[in-house]
Structure 1
Amino acid sequence: MTRPATTTGTQHNRSQARRRLAAPTVAMLPRIADSLSFLYLDIVRIHQDDTGVRAEVTTEQRGTESVYLPTAALSCVLLGPGTSITARALATLARHGTIVVITGSGGVRTYAAALPDSLTTTWLERQTRAWANDDQRLAVATAMYEKRFGPGSVPTGTSLAQLRGLEGQRVKAHYRLLAQQHRIGRFRRAYDPASWDSQDPVNLALSSANTCLYGIVHAAILALGCSPALGFVHNGNQQAFVYDIADFYKADLTIPLAFSLHSSTNPEAEARRSFRDALRLFKLLPRIVTDTQQLLDPQTTRDIPDPEEQLVDLWDPVTGPVSGGLNHAGTT
């Protein structure tokens, strides 16, 4: 028995209509500073159907449950362990300008990332200009120090080498204070992968918590479109800028946590678990975005582009950005 042609045609039209509704437009592209949304997923299967990207979770108690992901409203999706995703779903996330980051458990430790070609280069360009100019680079490094230790804490004319010395003195003083509070005697920061198991609990917990912090900062920097490699204080590493930004939060997050685990028998695991719990109260991801933007451009607090503006401009050394998508053959 054959199905009537009209029924088949109606179903085909409905399917095409659903696909058109799921297709992205310029106005749907996420505005990072306006609303930076992160979604962490693990132990799920992600695939694309006629209406959108769907995540499926299968358990013995409740069977298979599914939920559609608001891809156009998400700036970054963190895929944790046990996650599988199809090529069609990845393509949809890329069209919507959503960054896909492969992470460890709980969103810590960034292993890889897929960046969409629609991601704005606004903040990358600001970062590059400041990094490439020695005076601006020193100004950013000074601003980073004053953000950590207070306005006016850097004497006028301080060089970058002197700045590093001041930073080292402040951190050592913080270590001494916490060591006294926890009555653990003299503490010396040490990081030696070759003799990892022989380190004391505080150093083990601090290294573990810092690794988690680096992963989250890395994901946020990628979501902004910045380069993790172009650092202002740190240099010569693909995560130099990650280390720069992460230093903002160590005194509040990882260092006190590590000292609190000085008598732990498993400081690494406890540091990771406690760090994840603290993030819910600290609201770290929005803070990273705001702090990074204000650091690279102190005159602006929000990056709100016109949804109808050209996604790609042409560069001109005299007039500045020139509209793309036009035939300039008649210009002189």
Structure 2
Amino acid sequence: MTRQAAPGESAARRKLAAPTIAMLPRVADQMSFLYLDIVRIQQDDTGVLAEVTSERRGTETVYLPTAALSCVLLGPGTSITARALTTFARHGTTVVIAGAGGVRTYAGAQPDSLSTTWLERQARAWADDQRRLAVATAMYEKRFGTGSATPGATLAQLRGFEGQRVKALYQLLAKQYGIGRFRRAYDPATWDSQDPVNLALSSANTCLYGIVHAAILALGCSPALGFIHQGNQQAFVYDIADLYKAELTIPLAFTLNATPNPEAAARRSFREGLRLYKLLPRIVADIQNLLDPSTNHDVPDPDEQLVDLWDPVAGAVPGGLNHGTNH
């Protein structure tokens, strides 16, 4: 005998079964990012696998936990089939075409199911001058310490404050490594004539931009909507990358002042240090806190729907419903 569902029970079951943001793999999870190179990625009857071939060990296969991946970075020597890409898209995984070690980003494919939550928060803050200034100020304070920005300071004053701090850091490191006077210079027209520190710094910064770009794409944000920088498709990338230069790329560049090939050395050193930095999850958390500082982002909202409808009066209206019965 089949038991009949009690009134309201079916609706409750449907609500429990409906996908929510909390059910999706979080960008900051330990397994969220996976970097692959020199492999062939394909789909078989079991799942998505990476196929590695070497003279010593022959062909080996490793199945990928697609449901637990928010972003896959494909490095040099990687090929992927259309079926495997389709599976990544179905699981909401962002696929990024990256350089060696994941330290550069060339392109990215975002799935249709990727939530626009963070893009909307970014756009709202960017479009409002007061909120945009507040985010820019928070970026400066994240770099130089809480309370370091004078209350009510303009962006011009913040830029001047930043210039003084960065100049002092250059002077400190130049003295520490016995370089003498150092001045930051970036001129592609005179690239070969630049000193080793400038060459290493430019190379390391390019690597940093790639990692930041990958994190921004994985969140679903726009790399073009910057809060301090503007007028470039990488404006937000430059904003976020600046948060880490004084800690990561600038000191690294000065350590390579006597290296014969500082550009290559900077790329290698930065790539090898990524395991220690654990930078990708950190970037994601920093972006979330900058765009929505009042929310605890470690615990996803279980009531947040995958797709909402916009209403200028009511705000977000649940999607997936027939609203014709509401009139």
After TM superposition, is the score higher than 0.5?
Answer: yes
Deviation at 1:303, TM superposition (A): 5.8
Match of 1:300 in 2: 295
1:98 equivalent in alignment to 2:93: yes
Work out whether residues 33 and 302 of structure 1, in 8 Å CA contact, stay in contact via their aligned partners in 2. no
Report 1:16-95 matches (<5 A).
26=19, 29-33=24-28, 37-95=32-90
Letter in 2 for 1:175: Y
Match of 1:190 in 2: 185
Match of 1:204 in 2: 199
**One of 220, 230, 233 as aligned partner of 1:238:** 233
Deviation at 1:35, TM superposition (A): 5.2
| Partner SS, residue 207 of structure 1 | helix
**One of 134, 144, 148 as aligned partner of 1:149:** 144
Work out whether residues 36 and 286 of structure 1, in 8 Å CA contact, stay in contact via their aligned partners in 2. no
**One of 261, 266, 273 as aligned partner of 1:278:** 273
| Partner SS, residue 242 of structure 2 | helix
User: Matches of 2:134 and 2:225 in 1, distance apart?
Assistant: 15
Work out whether residues 31 and 304 of structure 1, in 8 Å CA contact, stay in contact via their aligned partners in 2. no
Match of 2:4 in 1: none
Work out whether residues 101 and 113 of structure 1, in 8 Å CA contact, stay in contact via their aligned partners in 2. yes
1:140 equivalent in alignment to 2:135: yes
Work out whether residues 29 and 281 of structure 2, in 8 Å CA contact, stay in contact via their aligned partners in 1. no
The percentage of counterpart residues that share the same residue type is 79
The 1:316/1:283 distance shift into structure 2, 3 A limit, reads same
Work out whether residues 27 and 71 of structure 2, in 8 Å CA contact, stay in contact via their aligned partners in 1. no
Work out whether residues 40 and 78 of structure 2, in 8 Å CA contact, stay in contact via their aligned partners in 1. yes
- After superposing the two structures, state which structure 1 stretch, 31-40 or 178-187, moved more: 31-40
- After superposing the two structures, state which structure 1 stretch, 240-249 or 200-209, moved more: 240-249
Work out whether residues 34 and 303 of structure 1, in 8 Å CA contact, stay in contact via their aligned partners in 2. no
Letter in 1 for 2:235: A
Q: In the TM superposition, what whole-angstrom CA distance separates every residue of 1:272-323 from its partner, at most 9, and x where no partner exists?
A: 1111122211211111111111111111231644567532111111111111
Letter in 1 for 2:19: V
Q: What is the CA RMSD across the aligned residues, in angstroms? A: 1.6
Report 1:93-132 matches (<5 A).
93-132=88-127
Letter in 2 for 1:191: Y
Report 1:220-231 matches (<5 A).
220-231=215-226
Match of 1:20 in 2: none
Q: In the TM superposition, what whole-angstrom CA distance separates every residue of 1:231-278 from its partner, at most 9, and x where no partner exists?
A: 111111111111111111111110001011111110001001111122
Paired residue total: 308
Deviation at 1:36, TM superposition (A): 6.0
User: Matches of 1:229 and 1:284 in 2, distance apart?
Assistant: 21
Match of 1:256 in 2: 251
The 1:322/1:294 distance shift into structure 2, 3 A limit, reads same
Match of 2:262 in 1: 267
Task: List runs of 5+ in structure 2 lacking aligned partners.
Answer: 1-17
Match of 1:13 in 2: none
Match of 1:22 in 2: none
Deviation at 1:329, TM superposition (A): 2.0
User: Matches of 1:233 and 1:128 in 2, distance apart?
Assistant: 14
Deviation at 1:29, TM superposition (A): 3.0
TM-score after normalising by structure 2: 0.91
TM-score after normalising by structure 1: 0.89
